[in-house]
Amino acid sequence: MGVFWPVNWFWPGLRTHWAFFPLWLGYALTVDALTYCRQGASLASRSPWRYAALFVLSAPGWWLFEALDTRTQNWYYVGRSFFSDTQYALWASLSFSTVMPAVFGTAQWVRTWPWFRRPHRGPRIRPSRGLLLAFFGSGWAMLALLWAWPRYGFPFLWLALYFILEPLNAWLKFPTLLRWTKEGNWQPIYTLWAAVWLTAFFWEMWNFFSYPKWVYHVPFVDCCHVFEMPLLGYGGYLPFALELFALYHLLAGLLRLDRGEYLAPALVSEE
């Protein structure tokens, strides 16, 4: 981080395409090490190969959001024209591989903070058959609205996938957040929300002087920017964290990498 933060901001010409990954690898390893220092265990120390798998699963996961953005056009990359399609795909995939390790690593560190060590009560939301079907149908309806009217349906980009994937995980017996909300325990959700906002600060802050970089074009709320992001846009990070949790467990469950014994215990206290 100490080396690649200034490189990412001040190196002349194009640099972020190759400086982004080592910068965010440094961030991911830092929060993992902070967790290890506080509790004697971390995602990387518990299973190095599963930790490496986070990077592998992260890239296709973020490409899914990139695919949805081809319809909404809410963000684009300044400097994209300097790369061929193949070059862009390779460099972008390397950068996208850091999303899950950064968010989940930050979440496990957040859980070591005193306020996040205990369950926190909220509404009881049980994974009944009716609720799961309502979630699943709503998710596809959101996706249809986003595709049909992207100017008005763009917020569903950050909601639809969670409502589709959470029922799928429940039906496949993979970990879901509903496993805890059925008891009124919202600890994992609050932990993920705190983690994604902390990670988002660094994403947006480090992006500000980067090149290439991303910029936003968000209808109706494209004002009051904090770095490149409109202030209200930070609200989209909250459902995004839940989507990442659901997406990871779907992919990891299908590949038999993690059926609840690796990531979930690092984020949630069972007591």
**Spans of all domains in the chain:** 4-267
Q: Examine the pLDDT at 121 and tell me if it is beyond 90.
A: no
Q: What digits encode the pLDDT tens for the residues 150-191?
A: 999 999 999 999 999 999 999 999 999 999 999 999 999 999
pLDDT at 271: 44
| Residue whose entry in the numeric block shows the structure tokens 């490189």 | 7
* Average pLDDT value for residue range 228-234: 95
- What is the pTM (predicted TM-score) of this model? 0.96
Q: What is the torsion angle, in degrees rounded to the nearest 10, for the CA atoms of residue 174, residue 262, residue 107 and residue 126? A: 30
Q: Per-residue b/e over 52-83, b at no fewer than 16 CB within 10 Å?
A: ebbbebbbebbeebeebeeebebbebebeeeb
Judge contact between 216 and 222, C-beta under 8 A. yes
Q: What digits encode the pLDDT tens for the residues 32-81?
A: 999 999 999 999 999 999 999 999 999 999 999 999 999 999 999 999 99
Q: What digits encode the pLDDT tens for the residues 190-215?
A: 999 999 999 999 999 999 999 999 99
How much of the chain exceeds pLDDT 90, in percent?
93
pLDDT band at 11 (very low <50, low <70, confident <90, very high): very high
